[in-house]
Chains A and B, each alone.
Chain A
Amino acid sequence: MAASFAPRPTLDRSLGWFSLGLGVAELLAPKTVGRMIGVGDQSTMLRMCGMREIVSGVGLLSGRAPATFAMSRVVGDVMDLALLGASLRSPDANPTRVAAAATAVAGVAALDLYASKADLQSSLAEAPQDVPVTTSLTVNSPPEEVYQFWRKLENLPRFMTYLDSVRQVDERTSEWVARAPGGVKLQWRSEIVEDEPNRFISWRTCPGSEINHVGSVRFESAPNGRGTILRVEMYYGLPGGPMAARVGQLISNGPEAMVLEDLRRLKQLIETGEIATTRGQPSGARSLVGRAFSRGES
């Protein structure tokens, strides 16, 4: 999704500079800051807070994903309040100064919350209704063969892992079954919009479907007979709208990586007849982290 480089509202900028200033002070002069806010010598903790402030500050000033960075400040404020509260148990804390600092943090937190809500609303308004994905890969096989493999839509689930099945209903219409994260089954009908043999296929979901999915694939002859350059473009209108799509991008590698992995599997199937994997091979005893990681491996 294209980042917005439009000038951010003044509030974001002010909060950004505030974050940066506070962060640098905490990082370079943690003892002085500690005395000022009455928590005593908490240098390591303050340096870490300083790093966090600098990240939030630079993020806000960059103008990219302002909602995220404004929210990071809100989270930071909550952490700061908790730390201030905890510091009261320390013998060298100065309760009056800590209370003053906490009041200041609470005030800034209100501003941060306001800024993050405003940013979120404006970014939602700007966000496109669908998440566009474009990616390309070269397959060492002539366009005719790659086209034919793809045009036989029943082949799609062999390399698109989230698809359970695709069934051709008639020349142009097909029925798709997919598994969404969490095991939810999605089912929809798709129709081929354009079909130029050996060059181009585009499709979209039939009206009234649960999801809104538009895609196309171009089969370009690579120079000098070096196979086919596949160019894929897809739009996913997920249930839940742009918010769900954003969350999806955050928790997965992003749809681009997903489509690229699909194309890689397609390439392997066409070039070698199988998909490279280590799933099912033996190993010695894994660590806990290792067990979690190997599940994600293909």
Chain B
Amino acid sequence: MKAVCWQGVHKVGVEEVPDPRLINPRDAIIKVRKAAICGSDVHLYDGYIPTMMRGDILGHEFMGEVIETGPGVTNLSPGDRVVVPFPISCGNCFFCEQELYSLCENSNPNARLAEKFWGHSPCGIFGYSHLLGGYAGGQAEYVRVPFADVGPLKIPDAVSDEQALFLGDILPTGYMAAENCNIKQGDTVAVWGCGPVGLFAIMSAKVLGAARVIGIDRFPERLNLARRAGAETINYEEESTLEALNELTGGLGPDACIDAVGMEAHMHGVQHAYDKVKQAFRMETERPGVVRECIQACRKGGTVSVPGVYGGLADKIPLGAIVNKALTIKSGQTHVQRYMKPLLARIEAGEIDPTMIITHRVGIEEVPDAFQMFRDKQDDCVKVVVNMAS
């Protein structure tokens, strides 16, 4: 089969690889119909996530058709159309029982590696480094899905492939980011980054009752989408984010701040140069400009919610502001399985239209070029969907 493989920093290629097969009793094989390139795939492309190996199959956003199931999978049959959550979760461990699926204890075969980095291991993730299991991903014609009796969600006929696709990651990720803000009547939520996750966080904050949502970015097309999703916007190239937020909130600051940017933040001036140099020399793994700004902007007693991806160590985090303003920090890889059904219901009811963020549709052969286009935001690129069935 054809698969998109990581071949090194800034090198992604389509290779001919063997078809996957069932390995464990609870596996299923899915014929991928649609996959997507995630913003977090860009961190792999840029080489900021350690333990990637040449030949790793990428992709953790995908949906398709079940073609084979192991004896332990009784809830799916060949022919079922399913969307697959990016966290691989057993459904049996203490964490899965608490619906903390991304913290599953039993799905990362390289847990010992992750424990060295972080003290404890999160779940395994498709196509996202050997630290997180080294599982072959879904930017391929076929993919093996472990614990298929727990993860994949059957898609009703009335819902299209594209409408369902983002249930596997970015829609729940944006939603959990907003849910983590513990939004109350009258709240103002500020969202840094109006890419796919930021846009879904904006929509979700609205759905969860935020009175005002403010989107922050510098690309006009993304700010346009943010306004379409119901946000006011700040273009940080034109005005200072902190001043604008204070102005908009009467000096109070937003009740909650969402960092939908992550480790490769673009900032201005000395701060950007400082982090860029430290990151280049691997003296810190992140450029945490957005987290810093969220903490600085947030109102006293407010919440900073971090769906953005970070992997290791960051410098100059204003701990003093966290303590003295009594902030709450919430984060985590998304517990996707917890959100898929309720969000599917919102899609069916027409409350959320996930397809509004799609700007590009490509075939598998065009994925390597699409990576670069997406990373550099060329051609107003916001979200790339890969059609596999063509």
Inter-subunit contact B5/A284 (CB<8 Å): yes
Residues of B within 8 A of A272 (CB): 26, 90-93, 106, 147
A286 to B97, CA, bound (A): 37
Identity of the chain A residue whose Cβ is nearest the Cβ of B124 in the assembled complex: A276
In chain A, residues 194-234, which have Cβ atoms closer than 8 Å to a Cβ of chain B?
A: 226-227
A:90-147 near B, CB below 8 Å: 138, 140
Determine if B21 is an interface residue (Cβ-Cβ < 8 Å). yes
Asked whether A47 is an interface residue with its Cβ less than 8 Å from the other chain, the reply is no
Contact indicator A276/B146 (Cβ below 8 Å): yes
Asked whether B20 is an interface residue with its Cβ less than 8 Å from the other chain, the reply is yes
Q: How far is the CB of B122 from chain A (nearest CB, A)?
A: 13
When C-beta atoms are compared, the residue in chain A nearest to B147 turns out to be A272
Interface presence of A73 (CB below 8 A): no
Chain A residues 270-289 with CB under 8 Å of chain B are: 271-287
Q: Which residues of chain A have C-beta atoms less than 8 A from B252's C-beta? A: none
- Bound Cα distance A42, B19 (Å): 55
**Selected contact of A286 from candidates B53, B124, B135, CB within 8 Å:** B53
Please tell me if the beta carbons of A279 and B23 are within 8 angstroms of each other in the complex. yes
- Does more than half of chain B's interface fall in helix, strand or loop, or is it mixed? loop
Does B110 interact with chain A (Cβ within 8 Å)? yes
Binary A-proximity of B134-176 (CB < 8 A = 1, otherwise 0): 1110000000101100000000000000000000000000000
The answer to the question of B182 belonging to the interface, with a C-beta cut-off of 8 Å to chain A, is no
The one of B19, B57, B109 in contact with A297, judged by C-beta atoms closer than 8 angstroms, is B109
Q: Which of A140, A257, A260, A274 contacts B26 (CB 8 A)?
A: A274
| Residue A5 at the chain B interface, CB threshold 8 Å | no
Q: Are B20 and A281 in contact (CB under 8 A)?
A: yes
Cβ contacts under 8 Å, B18 to chain A: 282
Stretch at the interface among A60-68, A169-177, A185-193, A261-269: A261-269
Bound-state Cα–Cα, A113 to B26, Å = 58
- CB of B3 within 8 Å of the partner chain: yes
Contact of A284 among B56, B92, B111 (CB under 8 A): B56
A294: contacting residue among B20, B24, B53, CB under 8 A: B53
A290 CB within 8 Å of chain B: yes
Say yes or no: is B299 at the interface (Cβ < 8 Å to chain A): no
Q: A140-B93, A281-B144, A284-B56 are in contact. Are A268 and B20 (CB under 8 A)?
A: no
| In the assembled complex, B235 has its CB within 8 A of some CB on chain A | no
8 Å CB contact of A257 from B72, B90, B112: B112
Check if B135 sits within 8 Å of A281, measured CB to CB. yes
Contact string, A249-261, partner B, CB cutoff 8 A, digits 1/0? Answer: 0000100010011
CA distance A264 to B93 in the complex (A): 12
A272-B106, A298-B109 in contact; A282/B3 too (CB < 8 A)?
yes
A278 touching B90 in the complex, CB below 8 Å, given contacts A284-B55, A294-B53: no
Interface residues of B in 1-33 (CB under 8 A from A): 1, 3, 5-7, 13, 15, 17-21, 23-26
Q: Which residue of A lies closest to B16 (CB)?
A: A284
Among A226, A279, A297, which residue has its beta carbon within 8 angstroms of that of B94? A226
- Rounded to whole Å, the gap between the CB of A253 and the closest CB of chain B is 8
Asked if B108 CB lies within 8 Å of chain A CBs, one says yes
- Asked if A271 and B106 make an inter-chain contact with CB atoms under 8 angstroms apart, the answer reads yes
- List 14 contacting pairs A-B, 8 Å CB cutoff, sorted by A: A140-B93, A140-B105, A253-B112, A271-B92, A272-B92, A272-B93, A276-B106, A276-B109, A276-B124, A276-B146, A277-B23, A283-B5, A284-B7, A286-B55
Known pairs A282-B136, A284-B7; list 7 more (Cβ under 8 Å). Answer: A226-B94, A261-B112, A268-B106, A276-B108, A276-B109, A281-B20, A285-B15
